[in-house]
Amino acid sequence: MRKFISNKYTLFSLGIIFVIGLWFIISAFFDVNGAIFPSPILTLQSLGNILTKGQTYSSLGFTFLRMIIGFTISFVLALAFGMIAGNWPKMYHFFRPLMTVLKSVPTVAFVFVLVVLTNAREAPILVVLIVCFPILYEAVVGGFRNVEKEIVEASKVDGANSVKSAFHIKLPLAVPYIVVGMVSSFGLSFKIAIMSEALTGATKNGIGSSIQYAYSQMEMADVFAYSLLVIILMLIVTLLEDVVKQIAKKKGIVIDNNK
């Protein structure tokens, strides 16, 4: 019995039950006809309603498109800068202040600054790019810095210079670290894209825009329903992340740039 209760899947299921129960309690005490804090039942009814609308799926598509564009650009830049920093330690230290700034500035601040500096409709793409870039960069650098020195020295004996070593030896060996970094930041990029859409209010399509519109109309059941849809998608992504991380852990892959 104790083993069953301590099983992580059992605990995960119990955690979901606890959240739903807490949701029912809060709704019972503070909600007024679904206008403030809709109950799970009312939210599920609203979710069923929005899932019958084609606009919901087009909104998801636009959000994913913005996320993929920002994520792809971020990955390309992170790969380029990460290879430079991972291959030449001096450049790693040169880029550290920039990475510290990007990781420290609140995401909301990025949103408002980008709205002022650029077209607000492009802000979600740019925010995803900026937020994911340091994570992907560290994954690339971590992969390069974890390549055994003996392998690098052996490549030098064989006549490989720094550039050849970076592309033909370090990069292939760094791929598992890069994959873990990509998986870890993918779910985050989705959440960031939705938040940016909701904050800018300038994107006509997107889940974030749908949430903002429902809130402006005080349709709180729809707000909760869209949020629940996002949570379900994020749970699926999180489970995939856990699978990848467990595989990486078994292979001894730990992203740590403080070596």
Contact 40, 18 (CB under 8 A): no
Tokens at 192, concatenated: 């960031």
Task: Kindly tell me the burial class for residue 8, based on how many C-beta atoms sit within 10 Å of its own C-beta (0-12, 13-18, 19 or more).
Answer: exposed
Q: 109 with 164, same domain? A: yes
6 and 64, same domain (yes or no): no
Q: Does residue 151 belong to any structural domain of this protein?
A: yes
Are 124 and 17 in a shared domain? no
What range defines the domain where residue 119 resides? 40-250
Q: Which residues contact 253 (CB under 8 A, 6 or more apart)?
A: 176, 177, 180
Q: Name the domain count of the chain.
A: 2
For the cut 80, the answer to whether the pLDDT of residue 194 exceeds it is: yes
Instruction: Say if residue 53 is in the same domain as residue 15.
Output: no
122 and 242 within one domain:
yes
> Given this model, what pLDDT does residue 225 score?
92
Task: Please give the pLDDT value at position 79.
Answer: 93
Shared domain for 8 and 98, answered yes or no, is no
Is 259 a member of any domain? no
Residue 255 included in any domain: no
52 and 16 inside one domain = no
State whether 13 and 51 are in the same domain. no
* Same domain, residue pair 111 and 155: yes
Per-residue model confidence as pLDDT tens digits over 74-90: 999 999 999 999 888 88
How confident is the model over 19-42, as pLDDT tens digits? 888 988 888 887 766 678 888 888
Residue 63 falls within a domain, yes or no?
A: yes
Q: What global pTM score does this model have?
A: 0.80
81 and 155 housed in the same domain: yes
The CATH number of residue 165's host domain is 1.10.3720.10
> pLDDT tens digits, residue range 126-180?
888 988 999 999 999 988 888 777 776 676 656 666 777 777 778 888 888 888 8
How far is it, in rounded angstroms, from Cα 70 to Cα 51?
Answer: 26
| Residues 1 and 126 reside in one and the same domain | no
Cα separation values, 36 from 26, 195, 210, Å: 10, 21, 18
> What is the structure's pLDDT at 155?
65
Identify whether residues 22 and 125 lie together within a single domain: no
The answer to whether the beta carbons of residues 92 and 141 sit under 8 Å apart is yes
Q: Return the pLDDT at 257.
A: 42
